[in-house]
Amino acid sequence: MKVGVLALQGDVREHIYALQTCGTEPITVRRVDELNSIDALVIPGGESTTMALLAETFGLFKPIQKRIESRLPVYGSCAGMILLANRVLDATEDQRTFGGLDITVRRNAFGRQVDSFESDLEFQGLRASMRAVFIRAPWVEEVGPEVEVLAAVNFHGTDHPVAVRQGNLLATSFHPELTQDYRIHRYFLEEVCRVGSRIG
């Protein structure tokens, strides 16, 4: 299985390292021919506005949408979650996303950088808890009926989903690639990609 990391901007290097540690040989994806050669895609953390603009400028936007529709397994962290969401709150006026996940995401929901934090988190499907790093992170405000919530964070008395899955799509508002704990990447490769390819 060939995994790609969308390399328009963001913490590409950390995802590449995480995927290598999990025993794959990932490639970077900046062009359509690279996109067409992969069996799974990771969208890294970074600035969602920058990535969307570059994807559009270099003709990657529609091809990524098409591959998501044809059930390419995709994992997005932070900005990646925003780009996979069908609906975005607190977005710029003309902000577009690839979409695919039937969720509404709120950008910078936990606040600005001074509010960025790390926290212990229970992730469904992993036996132990994990340390999750949230950087100007979004949260999920609404989920559609087919979306499974895998983890949530309590913020001022309300639980907000921070990890979701819908079929071939997985998204977290935190950054497992910044820790040495790559169980989410493994979960993506072993669970999400397997199911995705079976259906596909």
Q: Which residues bind other proteins (CB under 8 A)?
A: 7-14, 30, 45-47, 49-50, 53-54, 57-58, 78-79, 90-92, 107-108, 111-120, 131, 133-136, 175, 178-179
Selecting among 15, 160, 175, 185, the annotated active-site residue is: 175
Selecting among 78, 160, 185, 193, the annotated active-site residue is: 78
CB nearer other proteins, residue 121 or residue 150: 121
CB of 36 to other proteins, least distance (A): 18
CB of 193 to other proteins, least distance (A): 25
CB nearer other proteins, residue 6 or residue 192: 6
What amino acid occupies position 103?
Answer: I
177 is catalytic: yes
What is the C-alpha to C-alpha distance for residues 138 and 122, in angstroms, rounded to an integer? 18
CB nearer other proteins, residue 115 or residue 190: 115
What is the C-alpha to C-alpha distance for residues 52 and 1, in angstroms, rounded to an integer? 26
* Location of structure tokens 């990391």: 5
Residue 164: name the closest of 110, 71, 86 by CA. Answer: 86
Residue 80: name the closest of 175, 154, 159, 145 by CA. Answer: 175
What is the C-alpha to C-alpha distance for residues 45 and 93, in angstroms, rounded to an integer? 21
CB of 9 to other proteins, least distance (A): 4
Selecting among 14, 15, 160, 177, the annotated active-site residue is: 177
156 is catalytic: no
CA distances from 122 to 2, 130, 150, 152 (A): 29, 7, 8, 8
CB nearer other proteins, residue 77 or residue 168: 77
CB of 17 to other proteins, least distance (A): 11
* Location of structure tokens 């509010």: 115
**Residues classed as catalytic:** 78, 175, 177
